[in-house]
Structure 1
């Protein structure tokens, strides 16, 4: 493996559609750090089709939201929710071809907000889709909504980075 690539551990047994290991119809994404980016490589099959031979736009937006979220998890080690996301579909996202999804932090915390950007590229490194998102950092008051087990598991995961 490339020395600049570092595998990122993830939680097991959770049902998240994008990264959860317990979701039988989910994407079960795995992530790695490469420089200032968190990345995931995947190939989408027919279950994720919109127009024939093209990924559904909702799946594409899910991939971008998730990789930017993992950039937040890895680089910031905080609890947050997606506040807004803007997506620019530049080219169709093909099925049955290797894709790389990348996310990185754009700005640090300001008024409990943080910004990130994401990309989806094909195997030739052609940019297919770009996104920017704003994430709202959960306050102590809102953190009670996160189950205690998940908080413990996430805090243990943060220590591994």
Structure 2
């Protein structure tokens, strides 16, 4: 086991969110939930069979989405900023099978500047092996800037602000 989930705290998301990666109300989404140990962000999931590429192997775009999502939530939780992906590299090491328990871990590698953060993601299989890794440059921004740049609407921001402002220490 990579990490004991009972040692982690859940990160609360927004009810009613329809994000493909983490939206509970997206009927075809991944429904990712997030947890933390205050150093990294974790998610535990399995990829539905409908998201296969070849036979029972998960589509590479879905694996990339999972890694992008964990890195995005690493920016949200660890930096308390909205973040958008600027560049992303994925290294596929082993085929990821659908309907297999997975652990994905995100972490901040380096805060390069106010406008650039390097973030890492690692996808582990149930056997603990590393199946894929990612490295991305994210552009962190305030909630106000996210609205101005149309990353999110004002009504959506109002619903999402509690996620950024929640008391992480509890």
1:148 correspondence with 2:154: yes
Instruction: Give the structure 2 partner of residue 157 of structure 1.
Output: 163
Matches within 5 A, 1:2-151: 4-138=7-141, 143-144=147-148, 145=150, 146-151=152-157
Q: CA deviation at 1:35?
A: 4.9
Unaligned runs of 5+ in 2: none
TM-score calculated relative to the size of structure 2: 0.87
RMSD: 1.8
Distance (Å, rounded) in 2 between the aligned partners of 1:78 and 1:111: 11
Q: Secondary structure at the match of 2:20?
A: coil
Unaligned runs of 5+ in 1: none
Q: Secondary structure at the match of 2:110?
A: strand
Q: CA deviation at 1:154?
A: 2.4
Q: Give every structure 1 segment of 4 or more consecutive aligned residues whose post-TM-superposition deviation is greater than 6 Å.
A: none
Distance (Å, rounded) in 2 between the aligned partners of 1:22 and 1:96: 20
Q: Secondary structure at the match of 2:132?
A: strand
Number of residues of Structure 1 aligned to a counterpart in Structure 2: 161
Distance (Å, rounded) in 1 between the aligned partners of 2:146 and 2:157: 12
